Amino acid sequence: MKKKYLFTLFICAISFFVLIGCSSKSKSASSGGEGDGKEQVTLDYWASWNPGSVEEEKTLAKIKKFEEEHPNIKINVELLTFDMMHDKLIASISAGNPPDISWGLSEWFGELNRMGALLDLTPYYNEWSDKGKLNQNVMDSLTVDGKVKALPQYLGIRALLYHEDMLKEAGYDAPPETWDELLEMGPKIKEATGKEAFGITGTTVRSSQELLMYLAQSDVSIAQKMDDGNFKNTWADNPEEMKRATETFQFYKDLLNEGAIPEDSKTWGWQELDTNFAIGKYAMNVDGSWMKDREAENPDEMADVKIAPPPYNTKPATFLEVSPLYVYGATEHPKEAWEFASYILSEEWQSDIRPTNSPRTDVVSDSQWGEGFTSLTDTGVVFPEVPLGGITQAMQDSIARLLLKGEDPQDVAEWLSKAINEDLKKNGILSE
Amino acid sequence: MILNKRQRFWTKIVTYAVLLFFAVYCLFPFIWMTVTALKPIDEIRSSKPSFLIDSPTLENFKNVLFNTGFLTFFKNSLIVSVAATIITLLISIFAGYALSRFMRFKGIKATGGAMSLSQMVPPVLLLIPLYVLMQQYNLLNTHYSLILAYTTFMVPLCTFMLKGFFDSVPYEMEEAAEIDGCSRVRIIFQIVLPISIPSLLATSLFAFVNSWNEYMFGFVFINDEAQRTLTPGITLFKGLYTTDWGSIMSASVLAVIPIAVIFMYLQKYLIEGMAAGSVKG
C-alpha cells in the first residue's frame, strides 16, 4: 500500500514539474489586434548592452518613449552577449525565425549578407531625411553592390591610448608616430618605469582586428574585391604586397624580441589587454573609447591617459569597428522595423546614448574620448564583406604561429595568404 | 611488500603531499571565485591580486540577488533540471531494465546499439535541427524545449548506467517473485528498484548536474528573460567591453551551492552507485 502511495506521488511530482515548469508564456505575438486603426506590432530586438549599466537605463527610457510615440509598436528586448548572439542568430535564421532587429559585430556582416538574411534598406534609407548625417566611410562598409544592408549604430574606432606619466618618466613628451619610434621607445620605457611600452592581443576577435589594422598600416589588405565580383588575397601574386605583409609580422616579432610588449601578451585577449592597461601595467595600446568606462573603476591609474593616432608603418590607418544594426529580411514588419532603427540613429538617441562614439557627423563630443577617436574615421579600415569565421581564426592562428611557435614572419605571411584564399574558396567566393 | 616504520612514514608523507597538491589544485578556482565574490570592485581590478581582502563586502551578492534576474534564472534551472531528471530516470529505468534482461532480442540489441551511436553525435551538430523542430512544435521559449532536449541527450547514458546495475541484480529474485504472481512492472518497482537506490541516486545526480550546467540549448531555445536558465543568465554579466567579475563570481558561488549541498549529502550513495554496476557477481 505504501509503495502504491509512493508511486502515485512520483507520478504527481512529474506532472507538477511538467505543468509548473512549462506553463510559460509562449513566443510573443508579432502582431495582434487593431489599435487606432493601425495593426499592433511587436518587434523582437536583440541587443548586447551591459545589464544594469547607465546605457541600459537610458536605452530603456528611449524605447519607452518610442513606444509612447508609436502606440502600435511594442519593442520586445532580449539581452544577449555577442558570443551567444551569433550562434543564436545562425540557428534562428536557418529556421526562418530571426528577430526583427539585432545588434551584431561587423565581422558577421559578410556571413549574414551571403545567407540572404538582411533586409535591403536602400528604399527606406534613400527617403530618410538624416541620411546625409552619417559618415560616408562608415555607410560604404555596410553597402553591398549599391544596396544598404545594415545601419551603423555606434563606432568603435581605435586610437593609441597612452599613460602620459610613464612616457614622461622615460623622457618622452609625445607618443610614437611610427612603428620605428615605438620600437625605439620600448627599452627606454622599460628601463625608466620597469613596465613594458606596449600591449597587443594574441587571441579573441580583437587580435584579428588589430592585425587587420597593422596590415593596413603597411598598406596591404587581407582580401580584395576583384573584377569578377569575387575576392582574393593577392599577396602571393604580388611580391611587393608579400614584403609589406611580412614587415607587419616582423613588427609583431620585434615588439616581442625588443621587450616592448609583456611576454604574456602574446596570449592576451581583449579583457587582459584592457584591464592591464587600465591598472597601469604597461604604457600604451591601441584601444577604443569604451576605455573611458574604466576611469570610474581605476580613477588613479587612468588619470594620465591621453589619446593619439595609432603609430604606423607606411600609411596611417586604424581599425574602424562599425557596430551594425541588422534588420532581417524575414521581418513581417519592415516599415515598423525601419521606424525603430532610424530612431536609434536619430540625433536625439545618439547624442544621449552614444555621445562619444556615434556614427553621425553631427554628434561629436568635445572630450578626448569623443573627438580623439572620431577624428580618425577617415583613416579607418574595415573587414571585407566576406564570411569571416575561418579568416579571422586564421589571422589569430598566424599570430600564434609567429609568437608562440616562433615561425619566420615571411612563412607566416605566406601561410596566412594561402589560408585566406582556401577559406574564400570554401565559401565559393574566391576569384580564380 | 613489507615496509619498515621509516618507509611507512615517508610513504605516508609523499601520499599526503600528493593529495594536498591535488586538493589545492582542484579547490583553487572555487576559493578564488569565493574570494573575488567578496571583494569590492577596486580590489578585484587591483594590479596586485591577493587572496586577502582589505574590505570584504556582500555588495556583489546583494546586486546579484536583488538587482538582477538571478532568482528567476535559479528557479527556471531548478524546474527544468528536476523535470528533466525525473523524466530521464523514468525512461531510463525501463530502458535499462529491458537492455539488461532482454538483450537476446534483436530489437533490444539494435536499440542499445543506436543509443551508443547517439552518444557519438556532438549536441552542437543537432542545434539547428532541434531548433527547427522546437519551432515547428511551437515549443521555443518554453521550458518544454529544454526538458525535451536535455532528456534526449541524457537518456542513453543514464540507461547504460542503470543497465550496469540491473545486470548485477540476481535474476533468481525476479523468478521467485514471478512464481508468486508478480507482474513485470511490479517486479521492477517492488523488487529491483528498492535495492537499486544508490544506483538510482547516482544516475539522478548525473542527470541533474548535466541539466543544471547545460548552456548551449539554454541560450538558443530561450528568448524571454522570464524563462531563462542559470548558465546563460550568468554570462550576461559579461558585458560588451567590460565584465562585472564581482557579480559573475557571486552568481557562480550561489549557483554552485545546490550542487555542492546535494553532493555533500549524497556522496556516499554516489560512490556506491558508481561502483555498483562495475562488478558483475
Closest residue to B68, CB basis, from A52, A78, A298: A52
CA distance A428 to chain B (A): 22
Q: Could you tell me if B210 and B154 are in contact, meaning their C-beta atoms sit under 8 angstroms apart?
A: yes
Q: What is the mean pLDDT of residues B17-43?
A: 91
Question: What helix, strand, coil percent values describe chain A, rounded to 5?
Answer: 50, 20, 30
Per the CB < 8 A criterion, the answer to whether B270 and B260 are in contact is: no
Cell 555533500 belongs to B264
Nearest residue to A252 via CA among A236, A238, A240, A268: A268
Do the chains contact at A22 and B147, CB–CB below 8 Å?
yes
List chain B residues with CB under 8 Å of A289: none
d(CA B6, nearest CA chain A) in Å: 45
Cell of A366: 568635445
Cell 535564421 found at: A93
Helical segments of chain B, H only: 5-37, 41-44, 59-66, 70-101, 106-118, 127-136, 143-167, 171-179, 184-186, 197-213, 216-221, 230-235, 245-276
Q: Considering only alpha carbons, which residue of chain A is nearest residue B219?
A: A84
Least confident segment among A365-369, B52-56, B214-218, B237-241: B237-241
pTM of the model: 0.77
**B42 and A297: CB-CB below 8 Å?**
yes
In this complex, the residue of A26, A274, A278 whose CB is nearest that of residue B141 is: A26
Q: Does the beta-carbon distance from B138 to A92 stay under 8 Å?
A: no
Long-range contact set of residues B274-278: C-beta below 8 Å, sequence gap at least 24: B274/B202, B276/B164, B276/B165, B276/B168, B276/B196, B276/B198, B276/B199, B276/B202, B277/B161, B277/B162, B277/B163, B277/B164, B277/B165, B277/B167, B277/B168, B277/B199, B278/B164
State which residue of chain A sits closest to B215, comparing Cα positions.
A84
Bridge partners, A312 (sequence order):
A178
Considering only alpha carbons, which residue of chain B is nearest residue A278? B45
Looking at residue A231, what is its pLDDT? Answer: 94
Placement of cell 584579428 in the chain: A208
Return d(Cα A297, Cα A368) in angstroms, integer: 18
Q: Which residues contact A43 (CB under 8 A, 6 or more apart)?
A: A30, A73, A74, A75, A76, A99, A100, A101, A331, A333, A336, A337, A340
Using a CB-CB distance cutoff of 8 angstroms, which residues of chain B are in contact with residue A28?
224
CB atoms A290 and B242 under 8 Å:
yes
- Residue in the structure block whose three cell numbers are 619498515: B4
Sign of CA dihedral A353, A358, A362, A364: positive
CB contacts of B227 in chain A (<8 Å) are 24-25
Across the interface, which of A3, A24, A78 has its CB nearest the CB of B190? A3
Are B132 and A95 a contacting pair at CB < 8 A?
yes
- Search chain B and give the residue with CA nearest A83: B235
Which residues of chain A make contact with B238, given a CB cutoff of 8 A? Answer: 81
Supply the pLDDT for residue A14.
Answer: 55
Q: Inter-chain contact A24–B227, Cβ cutoff 8 Å? A: yes
In chain B, % of residues over pLDDT 90: 44
| pLDDT over 70 percentage in chain B | 95
For every one of its 432 residues, what pLDDT tens digit does chain A have, with 9 covering 90 and above?
455 555 555 555 555 555 444 444 444 444 444 445 677 899 999 998 877 778 889 999 999 999 999 999 999 998 888 878 888 999 899 888 899 999 998 889 988 998 999 999 999 999 999 988 988 888 988 999 899 999 999 888 999 999 999 999 999 999 999 999 999 999 999 999 999 999 999 988 899 999 999 999 999 999 999 999 899 999 999 999 999 999 999 999 999 999 999 988 889 998 889 989 998 999 999 999 889 888 877 888 899 999 999 999 999 999 998 889 999 999 999 999 999 999 999 999 999 998 888 889 888 887 888 888 888 988 999 898 888 889 999 999 999 999 999 999 999 999 999 999 999 999 899 998
Interchain contact, A83 vs B242, CB within 8 Å: no
Question: Radius of gyration of chain B from Cα atoms?
Answer: 24
What are the residues facing A282 on neighbouring strands? A196
Q: Per DSSP, what are the bridge partners of residue A43? A: A75
Within 8 A by CB and 6+ apart from A266, the residues are A200, A202, A256, A399, A400, A403, A404
Chain A, nearest residue to B127 by Cα? A91
pLDDT in tens, B219-264: 889 988 889 999 999 988 887 777 888 899 999 999 998 888 888 8
Nearest Cα of chain B lies from the Cα of A293 at a distance, in angstroms, of: 8
> Facing residues of A39 across strands?
A34
Quick one: pLDDT at residue B178? 86
The candidate with the shortest Cα–Cα distance to A224, out of A98, A333, A72, A384, is A384
Distance from CA of A84 to the nearest CA of B (A): 7
Nearest CA in chain B to A45: B223
Instruction: Write the CB contacts of A347 (distance below 8 Å, at least 6 apart in sequence).
Output: A130, A133, A360, A362, A363
Q: Which residue of B has its CA nearest to A89?
A: B220
Strands A101-103 and A38-47: parallel
| Pick from A200-204, B44-48, B262-266, B273-277: least confident | B273-277
User: In 10 A of CB A297, how many CB atoms?
Assistant: 16
Q: In A, which residues are within 8 Å of B220 by CB distance? A: 87-88, 91
CA-based R_g, chain A, Å: 25
d(CA B136, CA B140): 9
Q: How many residues does chain A have?
A: 432
**Which of B211, B270, B216, B215 has its CA nearest to residue B87?**
B211
Q: Calculate the dihedral angle through the C-alpha atoms of B249, B255, B257, B260, rounding to the nearest 10 degrees.
A: -100
Q: In angstroms, rounded to a whole number, what is the distance separating the alpha carbons of residues B146 and A127?
A: 44
| A82 chain-B contacts, CB cut-off 8 A | 240
Closest partner residue to B240 (CB to CB) among A26, A44, A48 is A48
User: Do A48 and A84 touch, CB atoms closer than 8 A?
Assistant: no
Q: What is the pLDDT of residue A318?
A: 95
Among candidate residues A353, A296, A352, A368, the one with its CA nearest the CA of residue A323: A353
Q: Cα–Cα distance between B86 and B253 in angstroms, integer?
A: 26
B46–A17 C-beta distance less than 8 A: no
Question: Cβ separation of A92 and B131 shorter than 8 Å?
Answer: yes
Min Cα distance A39 → chain B (Å) is 23
Query: Would strands A147-148 and A143-144 be described as parallel, antiparallel, or unpaired?
Result: antiparallel
CB A153 within 8 A of CB A46: no
Say if CB B137 and CB A27 are below 8 A apart.
no
With CA atoms as reference, the chain B residue closest to A77 would be B224
What cell was used for A176? Answer: 610614437
Which residues in chain B have Cβ-Cβ distances shorter than 8 Å to A92?
A: 131
C-alpha cell at A49: 548592452
A62 near A327, Cβ under 8 Å?
Answer: no
Are A350 and A155 within 8 A, CB to CB?
A: no
- Name the residue in chain B with its Cα closest to that of A21: B79
The closest alpha carbon to B143, from A207, A313, A26, belongs to A26
Question: Are residues B157 and B195 in contact, defined by beta-carbon separation less than 8 angstroms?
Answer: no
Contacts of B87 in chain A (CB under 8 A): 14, 18
Residue B256 · residue B30 · CB < 8 Å:
yes
Closest-CA distance of chain B to residue A432, Å:
32
Outline where DSSP puts E strands in A23-129.
Answer: 31-35, 38-47, 73-79, 101-103
The torsion angle over the Cα atoms of residues A103, A108, A110 and A113, rounded to 10 degrees, is -50
Q: What whole-number distance in Å separates Cα of residue A232 and Cα of residue B249?
A: 45
Other beta carbons within 10 angstroms of residue A211's beta carbon come to: 24
Q: How far is CA B279 from the centre of its chain?
A: 24
- The answer to whether the CB atoms of B141 and A27 lie below 8 A apart is yes
Q: Which triple of cell numbers denotes residue A116?
A: 540572404
Q: Cα separation of B58 and B62, whole Å?
A: 6
Q: Which amino acid is at A292?
A: K
| pLDDT band at B104; cut points 50, 70, 90 | confident
Nearest to B232 among A84, A274, A290 (CB): A84
- The whole-angstrom distance between B92's CA and the closest CA on chain A is 15
* Cα–Cα distance measured from residue A287 to residue A294, given in angstroms and rounded to the nearest whole number: 12
Residue of A nearest to B79 (CA): A21
Chain A contact probe: residue of B146, B240, B244, B247 with most A CBs at under 10 A: B240
The H-assigned helical ranges of A97-148 are 109-114, 122-126, 136-140
Q: Is the pLDDT of residue B187 over 60?
A: yes
What is the pLDDT at residue A25? 41
Task: State the cell numbers at A203.
Answer: 587571441
A53 contacts in chain B (CB < 8 Å): 239
